[in-house]
């Protein structure tokens, strides 16, 4: 009876035709506030967070360039800095967002039991992470979860173009992007060794030490979360990753696929080994037993994703955009690409044709990287221009206020002169001189800000930045600012981008006109 009361303490009603959750909320979302809750067998549930990846959702080839890793040579073979790309499988064209879902907490013992068909009543011991499983065990549990959801609770699954998502282990890039805080943190914070945290590491991660885990796995969700609301992303159980380990070949992943990969560290990791880029390779099979490697520290955190070629319509859209982008891009120099394509068309020897096609592929890839770098630079330029608009607006406001104060002081001085009040005349003379000095300072600041604004405007309106690239940079930056909570900057970015469009079309317009159009409401 005691177990029944505990289990039924909170009923979570899901949409019609979905399974009912009977577990107490503290068994699957102890911190509360999950973005998504999916039912599980045995009345269980799993909580997920939405991880936004700001890209243009109407462009199926658009993805987010992210810098991963850490710049420490001593472990560089495993976790040195590198460039990668990411895009969420779920989209909202209305909001201009793409995202994927990742579990708020590590897979718990109670959840693993439920997926294996063990419906024993939940208890507090079941809130600790499920550990001691192999990579194959984790993949099998994700398969069981997906199949159960598709068969028993299909309406609970988010859909993309009418196709429901599925559960799997995270990719390396998904895991590290989420661990670092995603678009919720600034670019500088994202590149930090650890996500921005208040308090000591022991307030965020169960790791080795007398003041932390003390060699025991702890209930999930007891410590502080990362900026995305993910718990135990550092420490507790080390989390299995979907793809195999590959070394870092001085800035890129090496060509050899290796063994099982885990991220995040565990209760046996010391504080120095707890950071976002930490990677650990394990042999897939135990050398002594020949069985699949199942370390005591191995745990899992699932993601909810979609496959890419969901529908015939999407496949056709991807194909047409890919062909157009790989063969003719109006924003870049395309003559070399056309020449290579012409040589390929004229070539009759298969070996030479294959070599030329490889060269064309390298050219297209290099051009794509150049365009990505231009997009990042343009985003920085738009943001810098928006900051300057804010500064210029503040300076103009200060000049209006201080000029009004100057008139008041000059009027008071004139009245004192008329009244022959020497003390007041001296006081107001001093005040007038101080205010004039401040006006001079503000005007110098305005001059410098206008010069900076002009440089940013010329850079944003450069012929190298076509209008379509400027719109893409504006839209992606707008999504990033919205995700990071910097809503006050969004209209200023839009305003600066609009001024840049105007200046690109009319470069004969004076900079003073451009400044006025930027700062006037």
For residue 333, the model assigns a pLDDT of 45
Closest residue by Cα to residue 456 from 351, 372, 381, 369: 381
Write phi, then psi, for 5 (nearest 5 degrees): -65, -40
Global pTM?
A: 0.75
Q: For the chain, which domains are there?
A: 2-305 (3.90.1580.10), 370-519 (no CATH)
Under 8 Å between Cβ of 20 and 12: yes
Q: What is the torsion angle, in degrees rounded to the nearest 10, for the CA atoms of residue 149, residue 154, residue 160 and residue 162?
A: 150
For tokens 């390929």, the residue is: 344
What 3-state class would DSSP assign to 9? Answer: coil
Reported as half-sphere exposure (CB side, CA atoms, 13 A), residue 341 has a value of 10
For residue 328, the model assigns a pLDDT of 52
For tokens 């630079």, the residue is: 377
- The contacts of residue 133 (CB under 8 Å, 6+ apart) are 112, 141, 240, 294, 298, 299, 300
Under 8 Å between Cβ of 297 and 268: yes
For residue 42, the model assigns a pLDDT of 96
Paired with 45 in beta bridges are 39
- CA 65, 68, 73 angle in degrees (round to 5)? 140
Cα(390)–Cα(492) distance, integer angstroms = 7
For tokens 């068309």, the residue is: 345
Write the secondary structure of 182-238 as one string of H (helix), E (strand) and C (coil). HHHCCHHHHCCCCCCCCCCHHHCCECCCCCCCCCCCCCCCCCCCCCCCCCCCCECCE
Under 8 Å between Cβ of 34 and 48: yes
Spell out the per-residue pLDDT of the chain, length 521, in tens: 333 333 333 333 333 345 789 999 999 999 999 999 999 999 999 999 999 999 888 888 889 889 899 988 888 899 999 989 999 999 987 777 899 999 999 999 999 999 999 999 999 899 999 999 999 999 999 999 999 999 999 999 999 999 999 999 999 999 999 999 999 998 889 988 999 999 999 999 999 988 898 999 999 999 999 999 999 999 999 999 999 999 999 888 999 999 999 999 999 999 999 999 999 999 999 999 999 999 999 999 999 999 999 888 889 988 888 887 766 544 444 466 666 777 677 667 777 777 767 766 776 677 777 777 888 888 889 999 999 999 999 998 999 999 999 999 999 989 888 988 888 889 989 999 999 999 999 999 988 988 889 888 888 887 766 778 888 888 888 888 988 888 899 999 999 988 888 888 777 778 888 888 888 76
For tokens 């395309």, the residue is: 334
Cα(515)–Cα(454) distance, integer angstroms = 9
């Amino acid at each position: 009876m005691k177990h029944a009361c505990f289990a039924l303490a909170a009923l979570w009603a899901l949409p019609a035709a979905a399974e009912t959750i009977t577990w107490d909320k503290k068994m699957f979302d102890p911190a509360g506030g999950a973005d998504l809750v999916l039912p599980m067998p045995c009345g269980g549930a799993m909580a997920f967070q939405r991880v936004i990846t700001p890209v243009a959702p109407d462009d199926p080839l658009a993805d987010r360039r992210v810098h991963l890793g850490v710049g420490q040579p001593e472990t560089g073979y495993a976790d040195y800095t590198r460039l990668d790309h990411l895009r969420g499988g779920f989209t909202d064209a209305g909001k201009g967002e793409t995202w994927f879902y990742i579990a708020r907490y590590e897979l718990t013992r109670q959840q693993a039991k439920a997926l294996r068909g063990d419906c024993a009543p939940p208890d507090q011991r079941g809130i600790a992470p499920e550990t001691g499983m192999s990579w194959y065990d984790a993949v099998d549990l994700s398969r069981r979860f997906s199949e159960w959801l598709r068969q028993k609770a299909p309406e609970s699954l988010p859909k993309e173009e009418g196709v429901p998502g599925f559960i799997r282990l995270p990719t390396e890039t998904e895991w590290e992007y989420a661990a670092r805080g995603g678009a919720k943190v600034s670019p500088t914070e994202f590149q930090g060794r650890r996500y921005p945290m208040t308090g000591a590491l022991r307030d965020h991660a169960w790791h080795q030490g007398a003041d932390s885990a003390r060699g025991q796995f702890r209930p999930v969700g007891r410590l502080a979360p990362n900026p995305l609301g993910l718990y135990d992303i550092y420490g507790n159980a080390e989390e299995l990753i979907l793809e195999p380990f590959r070394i870092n070949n001085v800035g890129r992943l090496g060509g050899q696929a290796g063994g099982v990969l885990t991220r995040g560290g565990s209760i046996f990791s010391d504080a120095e080994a707890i950071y976002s880029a930490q990677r650990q390779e394990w042999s897939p099979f135990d050398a002594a037993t020949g069985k699949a490697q199942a370390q005591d520290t191995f745990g899992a955190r699932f993601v909810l994703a979609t496959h890419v070629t969901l529908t015939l319509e999407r496949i056709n859209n991807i194909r047409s955009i890919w062909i157009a982008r790989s063969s003719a891009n109006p924003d870049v120099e395309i003559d070399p690409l056309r020449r290579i394509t012409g040589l390929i068309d004229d070539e009759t020897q298969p070996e030479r044709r294959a070599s030329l096609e490889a060269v064309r592929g390298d050219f297209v890839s290099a051009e794509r990287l150049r365009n990505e770098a231009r997009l990042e630079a343009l985003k920085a330029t738009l943001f810098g221009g928006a900051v300057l608009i804010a500064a210029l607006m503040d300076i103009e406001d200060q000049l209006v206020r201080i000029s009004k104060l100057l008139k008041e002081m000059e009027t008071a001085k004139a009245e004192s002169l008329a009244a022959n009040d020497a003390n007041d005349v001296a006081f107001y003379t001093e005040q007038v001189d101080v205010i004039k000095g401040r006006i001079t300072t503000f005007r110098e600041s305005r001059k410098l800000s206008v010069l900076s604004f002009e440089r940013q405007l010329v850079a944003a309106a450069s012929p190298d930045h076509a209008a379509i690239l400027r719109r893409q940079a504006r839209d992606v930056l707008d999504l990033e600012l919205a995700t990071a909570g910097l809503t006050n900057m969004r209209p200023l970015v839009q305003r600066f981008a609009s001024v840049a469009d105007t200046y690109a079309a009319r470069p004969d317009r004076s900079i003073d006109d451009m400044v006025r159009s930027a700062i006037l409401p």
